[in-house]
Amino acid sequence: MSGQGGNIRLILGDQLTHSISSLNGIDIERDVVLMVEVSTETTYVPHHKQKIAFILSAMRHFAAELVEKGIRLDYVKLDDPENTGSFSGEVERAIKRHRASEVIVTEPGEYRVRQFMEDWQDAFGISVFIRNDTRFFSHPSEFSRWAEGKKQLRMEFFYREMRRKTGLLMDGTEPIGGQWNFDSENRKALPKGMVLPDRLRFGIDDTTRGILEMVGERFGHHPGDLEPFGWPVTRRDALAALDHFIQDCLPSFGDVQDAMKQGEGFLFHALLSPMLNVGLLRPDEVCRKAEAAYHSGHAPLNAVEGFIRQILGWREYVRGLYWLKMPDYAQRNALNAHRPLPAFYWTGDTPMNCLKQCVGDTMRNAYAHHIQRLMVLGNFALLAGIAPHEVEEWFLAVYADAFEWVELPNVHGMALFADGGIMASKPYAASGAYIDRMSDYCTDCAFSPKEKLGPKACPFNYLYWDFLARNRPVLGSNQRLAMPYRTLAVMPFERREAISEQAQAFLEAL
């Protein structure tokens, strides 16, 4: 069925994949592809400048590739004087412009956008077809079938299902290497003198230069450095980034996956999440290339399994969980955390060197790796009892890879335990000793990770015990926290009082 003027095929800024389902069966003569730059998407949180530049530049490059393929394209730029500034407004205008009777779109990544989309059919009096997003290994409906009737959801078991389903790193029905998970081998600190790879960053063409100028003018007040800008914005460059990772980083990725080093924000990490999340790379091709590196003897199993687990396991799991639990999920606040986000999350102005370095890396690169996000930035917000929605807004704003479907479960569930244990079996709370073991941050800090109380004491130390004491009603019965709660129980009363006092004074001064 076609309308008078053909159908509109809408492609959103995180759907930049030539095989996207909304393009299936396109009538190249009659259909028009609609892409829109809209101010509501650029400002619903104060996105990092590089994040806006990355998405808009990738959108414009993708649009040019569609035109090269002979596809009719209607591309609305941010500075178009007629631009209404919203997805709904732009779809409505486009329906009129093209006298269309159908809109075909792939399901969006975010709940809030899905809500707009579901209104369009009635609001605009046309047929709206929302197709499944087939770029993932699993669909949320498969996840909810898997989750049905389970008392507890755990990533590890969903991951095993995904290994069986895809055959990735499988030897028949058994996992290659005889075990599913090699995480215990992937927790080393960075060995002294370890040579780090030069990371491949990408040049700026005229399209990106134009975007950078526009972002500098229009979003100058948003957080983060705009330049140097080195993200791939085309499929070709994204593939080069993937090859570089597999070649130069994957072999060591596993061993030091959890390590942190001052002035080295990237280490052996993939730096592929922004491209995966906007669709320039497909998760299956990324995992298959990593698997091939194992089979060719280029990378060891602990590295390849550890890497594939992040994408085939965690990435699929958080998406399934997001769609299963939204919209209530975002409202949970299991630990009753209400403190405002400290200003240093935006400025890096704090004597706590780990936080200063991680905020600095974030603002410079629109990127921080997983352990920086979880065990420094997230851990502090957890221990300090920062209100979940404030922490989430920050995480959603500052990372080039941040889209709510992946950001929210990671922040709300994994880092803050605000979901009460749906995502993780215990809070990832840690004292200064963990950060000291996994990084060199403490050597340049005003505080000492060895001191537990007093002016030189690392704030993570007393905040950690105060956090456990404060949240005993919710966490006290958690078996995985039995050991620290036993330690707390035998701690002398005066010491517990002193910890609580120093923690309160610190938090009040935040």
List residues near ligand SF4 by CB under 6 A. Answer: 352-354, 432, 435-436, 441-442, 445, 447-449, 458-460
Min separation Cβ 249 and ligand DLZ, Å: 27
Nearer to ligand SF4 by C-beta: 42 or 353?
353
Q: Is 14 in the site for ligand DLZ (CB under 6 A)?
A: yes
Check if the beta carbon of residue 233 is closer than 8 Å to that of residue 54. Answer: yes
Residue 410 touches ligand FAD, criterion: CB under 6 A:
yes
Q: How many CB atoms lie within 10 A of CB 183?
A: 15
Question: Which SS3 state, helix, strand or coil, does residue 456 take?
Answer: coil
Residue 41 binds: one of ligand SF4, ligand FAD, ligand DLZ, none (C-beta under 5 to 8 A by kind) = ligand DLZ
Nearest to 313 by CA among 350, 287, 343: 287
* Closer residue to ligand FAD in complex, CB, 160/370: 370
What element of type H or E holds 474? helix 472-475
Q: Which residues, numbered 342-371, are part of the site for ligand FAD (CB under 6 A)?
A: 369-370
CB of 124 to ligand DLZ, least distance (A): 18
Q: Output b/e per residue, 198-232; b: 16+ Cβ within 10 A.
A: ebbbbebeebbeebbebbeebbeebbbebeebebb
Site for ligand DLZ contains 22 (CB under 6 A): no
CA distance 226 to 363: 9
Q: In this structure, how many other beta carbons lie within 10 angstroms of the beta carbon of residue 285? A: 12
By CB under 6 A, tell whether 105 contacts ligand DLZ.
no
Give yes or no for residue 34 binding ligand DLZ (CB under 6 A).
no
Minimum distance from CB of 390 to ligand SF4 (Å)?
A: 21
For residue 146, give the H/E element and its range: helix 140-147
Task: List, in sequence order, every residue forming a beta bridge with 73; answer none if it has no partner.
Answer: 33
**What are φ and ψ of residue 9, in 5° steps?**
-110, 105
Does the footprint of ligand DLZ cover residue 211 (CB under 6 A)?
no
By CB under 6 A, tell whether 52 contacts ligand DLZ: yes
Output the six-digit token pair for 384. Answer: 């300090």
Look up residue 238 and give its amino acid: A
Q: Among 242, 374, 382, 397, which residue interacts with ligand FAD (rule: CB under 6 A)?
A: 374
Of positions 3, 6, 8, 12, contacts ligand DLZ by CB under 6 A = 12
Which partner from the list ligand DLZ, ligand FAD, ligand SF4, none does 276 bind, CB cut-off 5 to 8 Å by kind?
ligand FAD
* CB-CB contact of 274 with 401 (8 Å): yes
Half-sphere exposure of 100 (CA within 13 A, CB side): 26
Instruction: Write down the least CB distance from residue 259 to ligand SF4, Å.
Output: 14
For residue 494, what are the CA distances in angstroms to 146, 453, 483?
Answer: 49, 12, 21
Q: State in angstroms the smallest separation of the CB of 255 from ligand SF4.
A: 22
Choosing among ligand SF4, ligand FAD, ligand DLZ, none, which partner's interface includes residue 447 (Cβ < 5 to 8 Å by kind)? ligand SF4
**38 near ligand DLZ, judged by CB under 6 A:** yes
Q: Specify the length of the chain in residues.
A: 510
Phi, psi of 448 (to 5 degrees): -120, 130
Closer CB to ligand FAD, 31 or 404, in the complex = 404
Q: Nearest to residue 403, comparing CAs of 136, 18, 69? A: 136
Q: What is the DSSP letter of 249?
A: I
Q: Which does 318 bind (CB under 5 to 8 A by kind): ligand SF4, ligand DLZ, ligand FAD, none?
A: ligand FAD
Task: Give the whole-angstrom CA distance, residue 236 versus residue 454.
Answer: 55
* Count of alpha carbons within 13 angstroms of residue 18, beta-carbon side: 13
Q: Name which of 367, 380, 504 is nearest 441 in CA terms.
A: 380
Beta carbon of residue 381, minimum distance to ligand SF4 (angstroms, whole number): 14
The contact pattern for ligand FAD, residues 270-309, with x = CB under 6 A and - = no contact, is xxxx--xx-----------------------------x--
Q: How far is the CB of 319 from ligand FAD (least distance, A)?
A: 8
Tell me which of ligand DLZ, ligand SF4, ligand FAD, none is bound by residue 13, counting a contact when its beta carbon lies within the kind-specific cut-off of 5 to 8 angstroms. Answer: ligand DLZ
Residues 422, 321 contacting (CB under 8 angstroms): yes
Residue 470 CB, nearest approach to ligand SF4 (Å): 19
- Does 190 participate in binding ligand FAD (rule CB under 6 A)? no
Q: CB 217 → ligand DLZ: shortest distance, Å? A: 16
For residue 376, give the amino acid letter: V
Residue 303 · residue 253 · CB < 8 Å:
yes
What string marks each residue from 401 to 440 as x (binds ligand DLZ by CB under 6 A) or -? Answer: --x-------------------------------------
CA distances in angstroms from 241 to 202, 236, 286, listed in the order given:
9, 9, 11
47 makes contact, choosing from ligand SF4, ligand FAD, ligand DLZ, none, with CB < 5 to 8 Å by partner type, with: ligand DLZ
CB of 56 to ligand DLZ, least distance (A): 6
Q: Is 244 in the site for ligand FAD (CB under 6 A)?
A: no
- Report the SS3 class of residue 303: helix
Instruction: State which of residues 159, 180, 182, 314 lies at the interface with ligand FAD (CB under 6 A).
Output: 314
Which chain residues interact with ligand DLZ by CB under 6 A? 12-14, 36-38, 41-42, 47, 52, 55, 108-110, 113, 403
Which chain residues interact with ligand FAD by CB under 6 A? 269-273, 276-277, 307, 310-311, 314-315, 318, 369-370, 373-374, 378, 395, 399, 401-402, 406-407, 410-411, 414-415
